[in-house]
Amino acid sequence: MDKIILTGGGTSGHVTPNLSLLPSLLDSGWEIHYFGTQNGIESKIVPRQFVTYHSIKAGKWRRYFDWKNFIDPINVLIGIMQATVQIRKIKPRVIFSKGGYVSVPVVIAGWLNRVPVIAHESDLTPGLANRISTPFVHQLCTSFEETLNFLPSTKSLHVGSPIREDLLNGDRETGLRLCGFNDQKPIVLILGGSLGSVKLNKCVRDTLPVLLENFQIVHLCGKGKMDNEWIGIEGYKQFEYVDKEMSHIYKITDIAVARSGSNSIFEFLRLRIPSLLIPLPKTASRGDQIINAATFERLGYSKTLLEEHITNEIFVKELFEVYKKRNDYIENMKKAAVPDGKSNILHILKKYKSEV
């Protein structure tokens, strides 16, 4: 049986695209190995019943002073050695990297072992892990076409964003029943990211009396961030996190309010959900979400509200504005040529599979 290694982690955005590939890879007969850290988010959400999971050391570069910045390069070297040993045992035909700091040791170890590495960059500007990895990969795929301007033309390819097939096949009645909603008012989906946004959560709850006069609100607020005061309020449903039910929630969503991580915004584009995007500020990121949001706003798919500009009044005003112009956003999204990222990546990986 042909073997493939998947890697990526640190945030769910570096893991869920890999998960979108799993069913098709399994159906194609691949034996799948996943390389991640021992305690990262990937260790919790990668389904162990379908893959063999390997823990390695990795180093994370922090954009602030931390003594770990001096220690983590050693962890990267240890991770390269650990990955090298495992790769020599597994003998994979190809490695697929979704980025994140855990991917760097795996990519370098793959290159040292002469295993072809296919990497994917979700954001418009390449992240640090993929910038480091670029010399060692055979091909670097992108979600945004504009990303090709930042990468070597000889090894870069625009393929689109890999999206889980189940997200495209939700059931409206199931979604309404899950949230306890009806068809009397439009539905707004609030997404604060996998960890939840404290500022956005507070703003939503502060403005609920006004919002609930006009909308029903489904609020994915993040682990440990549910508010008991609002449990049971008609028209408002909180979840810490949603996985398999997400397709049904998307099916009932009229507009979304969300961070502008690449996975989410390309899901909105594919499903033609107008959105108010509130990107992570530069104080909490490298600014990639700000660039993602600006690009989608320029293309007419969404509207951007910077976190530092948020007040309760501005939030409500901008949300109502997006709803008012939702049909314009939908028409723009209908005109977009959206590549099938999952199928394109699977086609590339298939080239490395031996003939049966």
Residues that constitute the known binding site for UDP-N-acetyl-alpha-D-glucosamine:
164, 194, 289
Half-sphere exposure of 164 (CA within 13 A, CB side): 20
- Residues 149 and 125 sit within 8 Å (Cβ to Cβ): no
Identify each DSSP E strand in the chain by its residue range.
3-7, 31-36, 52-55, 94-97, 117-121, 139-142, 156-158, 187-191, 216-220, 236-239, 255-258, 275-277, 302-304
Asked if 99 and 130 count as a contact pair (C-beta separation under 8 A), the reply is yes
Residue 303 contacts residue 297 (beta carbons within 8 Å): yes
Q: How many Cβ atoms from other residues are within 10 Å of residue 310's Cβ?
A: 16
Residues of each annotated binding site: 164, 194, 289
Measured between alpha carbons, how far is 116 from 96 in angstroms, rounded to an integer?
9
Residue holding tokens 């609002």? 230
Percentages (nearest 5) of helix, strand, coil residues in the chain: 45, 15, 40
Which of these, 248, 282, 252, 246, lies nearest to 264 by C-alpha position?
Answer: 246
Burial zone of 229 (CB within 10 Å; 0-12 exposed, 13-18 middle, 19+ buried): exposed
CA distance 141 to 243: 26
Q: Cβ(188)–Cβ(215) under 8 Å?
A: yes
Cβ density class 314-342: b for 16+ within 10 Å, e for less: ebbebbbebbeebeebeebbeeeeeeebb
Q: Quote the tokens at residue 232.
A: 């049971």
DSSP classification of residue 167 = G
Number of other CB atoms surrounding residue 139 within 10 Å: 15
